[in-house]
Structure 1
Amino acid sequence: MKIRILLIMSLLIINFIKAQDDTLKIQNAKLIALTPLNKKTDKVNGLTFGLGFDSKYIVKKQDTELLQKVNGLNIEVNPLGILFWMLYDPEKDQDTEFIKINGLNISAAGYLKGISHNGLTLSLYNYGHTMNGISGTFFTTYIETGNGFFVSSLGVHSKKLNGVSISIFNNAEIMRGIQIGGYNSNKDGKGMQIGLINKSKKLKGLQIGLWNKNGKRSLPIINF
């Protein structure tokens, strides 16, 4: 009887140690790391530096995708950033969140689809997943969900926008906040549109511009 108890205890201890070892291998936090992050790193508390993040380096454990996290500063120096902006089609990429960054991002390129951010990000473009905070891009922003303040020279597109977007072209499927630009559009809006042309299929709020159209009426200057 005692031998059986000892054997059972030994097996439990071995399984516990193995589980802890597997967890440590996957949840390997680093202070400094190069990007793209490899599969052995699931968290960085400090600095990441390199070419940017890539979904092919998703951390996996038993065929389950784990979210990699960066807490701190991310710097990207990808010299091909302008080519990514010209050739990348976010509609063709997977809609799976695989990286979450908390802090400051400064990039000579930008986020691809699947990257979420909490904080401040400055880049050429932003094709990320969920953005919470402030995002400034030189070219375009094309994201799933935006909560905060978004500025782009050419365009801001989001499926869900909660906050403020400022650009030549602003487009949101669901908008809760303010759109400011040359051409503003949304399917379901609550808030305000300020621009040359404002369009909304369903709006609870105010439109100020040269021409304004919502689900009820079309008017110049002011519409509601």
Structure 2
Amino acid sequence: MTGSSFAQEDSDQNLYFVRKNGEVIFEKNDYQPGRNAFYIYRNCVYTFVLADKKTVPARVIDIRNDSIYYTRYTGIATKSNGSRDTLALHPGQLKKIRMPSDQAFGIYTSYSLVKGQYVFEKSREPKTFPFRTETEYSADGSHSTTYDLIPYLTQQGLDKVYEQRETASYYEGTSKQRFEDTLKKNMPPVIKKWAWVTPTNVNKISGLNIGLQTWTLADNDSLVIHGVNLNADLLTTFVVGYAIARLTRADLPDTVDKTNMKSKIAGLSISGGGVIGDFKMCGLAINGIVSGVTEVNGVQITCLLNVNQEFKGVMIGGLCNASTKGRGLQISLFNLCKDFKGVQVGLWNVNNKRKLPLINWNF
């Protein structure tokens, strides 16, 4: 990566990246990495990957003295370490920019900066996103919450995130916080015993659950099933091709995010399409096509694809197993885990220690 800078009095400094020997052309959205040049914006959250492979979630504060000044951001829906010190990075330290491409599956894509060059320029118009706040009111109007919204760079463009109680979440999207009526806050959970169906507004089912989709319509987004879950989950089939395409050219997240994991299935789960969402699965889970949940404790068998954040036990997939954190056994044609202890059996196996065909391990 090469760099250069130009001087001009009484002006701010901007930073952009462009392919080596490439023409400096900016699209309308000049913040988006792609074929053309793009700027690094102030007041924007980026996930930088450094040359030493360290990942830095950063809210860019300023660009000056040929450096990027930032504060460490908590990461989407992860806990903060409490530090808000202003730190500095030189563009030459950056290897790539990681961007979420699919929130539901926790899949990321990366834009490499290795074959590009960085340029500092002086300008009277600093590249920065405006500060924005939003106030939302409960349904009964008894209270309100104000959010400081920060742009967050994704593959599709910009999402808005906010921090609350040292946790960062999407303001719009799968992690958006929902308000509850104060009249509903203290209502006890709705529980059904013996047998029930889903989708449902019930919070807990003890016994047999039969349905079209393993979803909840409850106000608190919580569904707990103890017993047997038999579901068609036909809507899951529509995301299979998209998930495979993203997985073949994307990174898994570096950390496990359990912030929104409110639902649980404990016992036996048999799904035609496959269970996806912020679930904790305990016991035996059999999926017809794909599975994408937060945590699995037990045995998971899926005909095509498993994409989970964490598993403890046995994960078996016909095509691919992918997990951020894993403890146990992975069996599939392709196995991938970023934080793994156990054994992988397949055509190609990747973990945080090595890459090997047929069989791989880390203890």
Structure 2 length as normaliser, TM-score?
0.42
Q: What SS does the aligned partner of 1:127 have?
A: strand
The aligned runs of 1:1-224 (5 Å cut-off) are 22-24=186-188, 26-38=189-201, 41-54=202-215, 57-60=217-220, 67-87=222-242, 96-123=260-287, 124-188=289-353, 195-196=357-358
In structure 1, list runs of 5 or more residues that go unmatched: 1-18, 206-224
Q: Partner letter of residue 136 of structure 1?
A: I
CA displacement at 1:144 relative to structure 2:
0.6
Counterparts of 2:215 and 2:353, CA distance in 1: 33
Instruction: Return closer, same or farther for 1:178/1:58 CA change in 2, 3 Å cut-off.
Output: farther
Cα distance in 1, alignment partners of residues 359 and 329 from structure 2: 17
Tell whether the 8 Å contact from 2:278 to 2:294 is kept in structure 1 after alignment. yes
Supply the distance in 2 between the matched residues of 1:181 and 1:81 (Cα, whole angstroms).
Answer: 25
Q: Distance in 2 between matches of 1:188 and 1:85?
A: 29
Q: Structure 1 residues 204, 86: closer, same or farther in 2, change over 3 A? A: closer
Give the Cα separation in 2 of the matches to 1:22 and 1:28.
15
Query: Which residue identity lines up with residue 214 of structure 2 in the other structure?
Result: F
Deviations 1:143-165 (A, max 9, x none): 01100011101100001110000
Equivalent residue, structure 2, for 1:12? none
In the TM superposition, residue 54 of structure 1 has moved relative to its aligned partner by 3.2
CA drift at 1:98? 2.9
- Cα root mean square deviation, aligned: 2.9
Equivalent residue of 2:200, what SS?
coil
Contact 1:180 1:194 in 2 (8 A): no
Q: What is the CA–CA distance in structure 1 between the aligned matches of 2:233 and 2:190, rounded to whole Å?
A: 27
Equivalent pairs counted in the alignment come to: 168
Higher strand share: 1
Q: Residues of 1 paired with 2:187 and 2:192: CA distance? A: 11
With a CA cutoff of 8 Å and minimum separation of 6, indicate the structure with the bigger relative contact order: 2
Q: Whose helix fraction is larger, Structure 1's or Structure 2's?
A: 1
CA distance in 2, matches of 1:121, 1:197: 24
% identical aligned pairs: 24
Q: Write the distance in 1 (CA, Å) between the matches of 2:303 and 2:357.
A: 20
CA shift in 2, pair 1:22/1:164, >3 Å: same
Q: Post-superposition shift, 1:204?
A: 5.3
